[in-house]
Amino acid sequence: MSALQHLARPIADASHLDELADEAAAARLVCIGEASHGTHEFYQLRAQLTRRLLERHDFSAVAVEADWPDADRVNRYVRHRGTDRSADEALAGFRRFPQWMWRNRVVLDFVEWLRRHNATRPPTRRAGFYGFDLYSLFTSIERVLTYLDEVDPEAAARARYRYECFEHYGEDPQHYGYAAAFDLSAACEDAVVQQLLEMREMATQRSGDGELDDDDRFSAEQNARLVLNAEHYYRSMFRGRASSWNLRDSHMAETVDELLRHLGRHGDEAKLVLWAHNSHLGDARATRMGWQGEHNVGQLLREHHGVDACYLIGFTTHHGTVTAADDWDDPATLKRVRPGLPDSWERLFHEAGPERFWLPMHDDAVADALREPRIERAIGVIYRPESERLSHYFEADLVAQFDAVIHIDETHALEPLELTAGWSEQEPAETYPSGM
Domain that holds residue 162: 135-240
24 domain residue, yes or no: no
Please give the single-letter amino acid code of residue 32. Answer: I
pLDDT digits (tens, 9 = 90+) for 221-248: 999 999 999 998 988 876 655 688 999 9
338 domain residue, yes or no: no
236 vs 233: CA distance, rounded Å? 5
What is the pTM (predicted TM-score) of this model? Answer: 0.93
Work out how many domains the chain is built from and give that number: 1
pLDDT digits (tens, 9 = 90+) for 193-204: 999 999 998 887
383 domain residue, yes or no: no
337 vs 125: CA distance, rounded Å? 41
pLDDT digits (tens, 9 = 90+) for 343-366: 999 999 999 878 999 999 999 999
Cis peptide before 339 (omega within 30 of 0): no
156 domain residue, yes or no: yes
200 domain residue, yes or no: yes
Give residue 420's pLDDT.
82
pLDDT digits (tens, 9 = 90+) for 319-347: 999 999 999 999 999 999 999 999 999 99
Q: Which residues partner with 64 through β-bridges?
A: 131, 275
217 domain residue, yes or no: yes
35 domain residue, yes or no: no
- CA end-to-end distance (rounded Å), the chain: 34
178 domain residue, yes or no: yes
pLDDT digits (tens, 9 = 90+) for 401-421: 999 999 999 999 999 999 887
